[in-house]
């Protein structure tokens, strides 16, 4: 559902009110820039994604029929430019992995032996989360960003990506499991997850809890999961660390749009709106 303020601006914009259109687009620039940063991994690409997305939205705003939410439309456009960036840079050097890009910092966090809220500042926690997100495969990264960082529903994520809700949830379960694996030990939330012994009766608690977050676990299965957590310290620690990792994903506000980028984007947008008038 499109927020009331957006609905009013959208209606005016579709009638040709350029001031309303500019306000509408700039109101969402932080979301697009944050998404571009998390998907592309560098400020230059995020700036291009932001500017290209806003200009594309300006060109096609009159064609928006409200069949999806405004946010869904917004992320669909931004994602298309992120995909183009990825294709253009496929022969560039690969992104550094979590181990190489933040190795010294993560090693320091692991050695601290303290809880993340006492061991590191908020920016350091965010850095570890960002590095863990970048280590995900693109298909996993985008579902986690859209669902757990940006807060879209699974159905809205499916609309943005053009896949079924079931496919969204399948990718999401895997992405959440990997986020916990990459980030939790580095933040001191939990030790590295040990392999489940072949003789163990432990269920896949990470997938079950992820399914619970999506409303896919019935009351009987939920009760059984809660009982198992009471009896199994290993699974209880795993589940707790997943909760904390996802909480940190949601809490991270992400980078603000630099003032120079805001000015550049605003200038490009106004040039376009003036030429169209």
DSSP per-residue letters across 199-249: T-----HHHHHHHHHTT-S-HHHHHHHHHHHHH-HHHHHHHHHHHHHHHHH
- Beta strand extents in the chain (DSSP E only): none
pLDDT at 110: 41
- List all residues 6 or more positions away from 163 whose beta carbon is below 8 Å from its beta carbon: none
Q: Answer for the pair 70, 2: CB distance below 8 angstroms, yes or no.
A: yes
Question: Percent of the chain beyond pLDDT 90?
Answer: 50
Q: Of residues 187 and 13, which shows the higher confidence score?
A: 13
pLDDT band at 55 (very low <50, low <70, confident <90, very high): very high
For the chain, give every domain's residue range: 4-276
pLDDT at 109: 39
pLDDT band at 192 (very low <50, low <70, confident <90, very high): low
pLDDT band at 268 (very low <50, low <70, confident <90, very high): very high
Of 179, 197, 204, the C-alpha closest to 189 is 179
Task: Say whether pLDDT at 180 is over 50.
Answer: yes
Residue 90, classified by CB atoms within 10 Å of its CB into exposed (0-12), middle (13-18) or buried (19+), is exposed
- List all residues 6 or more positions away from 142 whose beta carbon is below 8 Å from its beta carbon: 39, 79, 161
pLDDT at 195: 56
Task: Say whether pLDDT at 207 is over 60.
Answer: yes
Q: What is the mean pLDDT of residues 77-95?
A: 70
Q: What is the pTM of this model?
A: 0.79
Average pLDDT of the chain? 83
Q: Answer for the pair 61, 10: CB distance below 8 angstroms, yes or no.
A: yes
Q: Of residues 72 and 92, which shows the higher confidence score?
A: 72
Task: Say whether pLDDT at 89 is over 70.
Answer: no
Q: What is the mean pLDDT of residues 34-44?
A: 91
pLDDT at 202: 85
Task: Say whether pLDDT at 40 is over 60.
Answer: yes
CB atoms within 10 A of CB 32: 26
């Amino acid at each position: 559902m499109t927020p009331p303020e957006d609905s009013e601006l959208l209606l005016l914009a579709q009638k040709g009110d350029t001031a309303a259109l500019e306000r509408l687009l700039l109101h969402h620039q932080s979301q697009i820039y944050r998404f571009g940063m998390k998907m592309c991994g560098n400020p230059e690409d995020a700036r291009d994604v932001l500017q290209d997305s806003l200009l594309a939205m300006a060109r096609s705003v009159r064609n928006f029929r409200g069949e999806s939410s405004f946010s869904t439309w917004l992320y669909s456009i931004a994602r298309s430019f992120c995909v183009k960036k990825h294709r253009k840079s496929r022969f560039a050097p690969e992104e550094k992995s979590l181990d190489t890009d933040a190795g010294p910092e993560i090693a320091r966090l692991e050695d601290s032996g303290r809880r993340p809220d006492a061991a590191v500042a908020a920016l350091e926690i965010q850095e570890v989360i960002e590095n863990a997100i970048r280590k995900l495969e693109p298909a996993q990264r985008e579902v986690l960003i859209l669902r757990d960082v940006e807060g879209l529903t699974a159905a809205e994520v499916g609309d943005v990506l053009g896949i079924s809700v079931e496919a969204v949830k399948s990718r999401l379960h895997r992405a959440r499991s990997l986020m916990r694996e990459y980030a939790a030990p580095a933040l001191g939330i939990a030790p590295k997850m040990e392999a489940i012994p072949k003789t163990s009766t432990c269920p896949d608690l990470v997938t079950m809890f992820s399914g619970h977050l999506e409303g896919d676990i019935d009351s009987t299965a939920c009760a059984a999961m809660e009982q198992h957590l009471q009896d199994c310290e290993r699974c209880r620690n795993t589940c707790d660390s997943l909760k904390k990792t996802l909480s940190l994903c949601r809490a991270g506000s992400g980078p603000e749009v630099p003032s120079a980028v805001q000015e550049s984007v605003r200038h490009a947008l106004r040039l376009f709106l003036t030429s169209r008038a």
